[in-house]
Amino acid sequence: MGYYTQLAMDVGIKEDKIEQFKKAIKRQLARVKADPEYWFSYYADISVDEYGTILFEDYYRKIYDIEKFAKWLAKFVEKGYIYGYGEEAEDVWRICFDGKGNFEIQEARFVWDTVKA
C-alpha cells in the first residue's frame, strides 16, 4: 500500500560526502537488483548533482519506509528538511536533519477553531 506524496527538498549532500553518497546509491541499487522488494526500490531514482543537490526523476511519488530512508540519508546531508505533502490536507510531514547524522520525522498538527455565529 502507499499513497502519493509531493516532495519538496530543502537539504543537500555535504560537499565532502558527494562521492560517498554516489557509491552508497550504487550499493543500494545492487541490493534492489538482487531483491526487488528491498525498501530502497522506492528511492531507486535518487541521484545527486555536482553541487550536492538531491534529485529524483519524479517528486510526486509513493513513499514507503521513510524511517529507513531518513536514517540512510542522514549520514550524508547538511542541516535541512524534506517536506512531504500528501493527497489529504492533513497529510503533511517533514524530515528534519541536523547535519550531524541525526534526523526527526515530524507530522503537522492542525488546530481547528470553532466559530460561534
Q: Is the dihedral of CA 71, 77, 80, 83 positive or negative?
A: negative
> CA–CA separation, 30 vs 25, rounded Å?
9
> CA–CA separation, 110 vs 104, rounded Å?
19
Spell out where the chain has E strands: 4-10, 47-48, 54-55, 60-62, 79-86, 92-98, 103-107
Residue 64 Cα to chain centre, angstroms: 10
List the chain pLDDT tens, one digit each, 117 residues.
Answer: 467 899 999 999 999 999 999 999 999 999 999 999 999 999 999 999 999 999 999 999 988 899 999 999 999 999 999 999 988 777 889 999 999 999 999 988 766 655 565
Residue 3 Cα to chain centre, angstroms: 15
- Kindly state the cell numbers that stand for 44: 531507486
Global pTM value: 0.87
